[in-house]
Amino acid sequence: MEEVKPLTAPETNSDAAQTPKAEWVAKLRYTKSFLAKVYLSSKQLKEMYCSLFNALASYEGVTTKTAFSCVTFSVKRKPLAMITLTGKSLNLFVALEPSRHDVGRYRLTDVSTKKRFARVPAKYRVKSQGGLRFALRVIEEAAAEAGLKKKTEVLPPVTVKDFPTQSIRELISRGLIRTMGGDRRPVRVAKEVSIYVEKEAPREEVEDDVYSDTVSTENALTDRHEEYDSLLSSFEGEGSVRFVRQKVIRSVDESWVKAVEDCLPALDEVTRNPSHFIEETE
């Protein structure tokens, strides 16, 4: 009689089962502060941040406070501006009415509905040199509305050298990068991602007006891709159109006309009474 062997569960590799969780835990392990993001950012972004910082700090009575997620600028405990960093863009929040710049290429976004930004409701994302110039102009308007004046004694400006590139380990030791607490389960996140992929994206309503639809589409593209700002900034400048009408005065010498008229009687006489030299015979 043939011996029946008991069924056994297939062997599983415990290391392979733990790999997805280890990857997710590694990604969700740390949270970076605002200064840590500045230290790890590119030279161009550091230069833009220094320009914004120096512009705000150049007014009398402005005090700065660096928190974990942002830098705030206040005048007598009244917020004037706030700077945060998201990805490769600086976010400038100013105490200005967003409707002052709600049309055109550079526009302010109204974030007054969020409690954190209620006192600095105008937001602008600085992603290019053209956007930086607009942000500096907005800072001047906010300072003028608050009645601020430039400092007579200018302090040494903040430069890129104040933010040398540092490693993650150095930033952790300085407390600029913190370890995230709590248990993050990757299974739940994976399910959410799969559901999001399977769902069909809702179709946006198309405006009837061709001009409005074109403007809204162009604005959506420039907001999603920072390459458009770099491209459009190269076309900046003031253009002018001029219509010129030129008049040419021509001077005609009529002496040759009189000479031809004087020859006409002789030519007529020769033609009517030809001599034997030019007479034609059949």
Dihedrals phi, psi of 30, to nearest 5 degrees = -120, 155
Q: Where are the alpha helices (DSSP H) in 199-247?
A: 210-224, 227-233
**What is the DSSP track for 256-280?**
HHHHHHHHHHHHHHHHHS--TTT--
**Average pLDDT of the chain to the nearest whole number:** 76
- Rounded to 10°, the helix 186-198/14-27 angle is 80
Task: Encode pLDDT of 206-241 as tens digits.
Answer: 445 677 777 777 777 776 776 666 666 666 556 677
The secondary structure of residue 28, as a DSSP letter, is T
Over residues 76-129, the pLDDT tens digits come to 889 999 999 988 889 999 998 888 887 778 889 899 888 888 899 999 999 889
Structural domains in the chain, sorted by start: 32-147+166-176 (3.90.1150)
pTM to 2 decimal places: 0.55
Beta bridge partners of 177: 32
For 175, phi and psi rounded to 5 degrees?
Answer: 80, 10
> How many angstroms separate the CA atoms of 53 and 157, rounded?
9
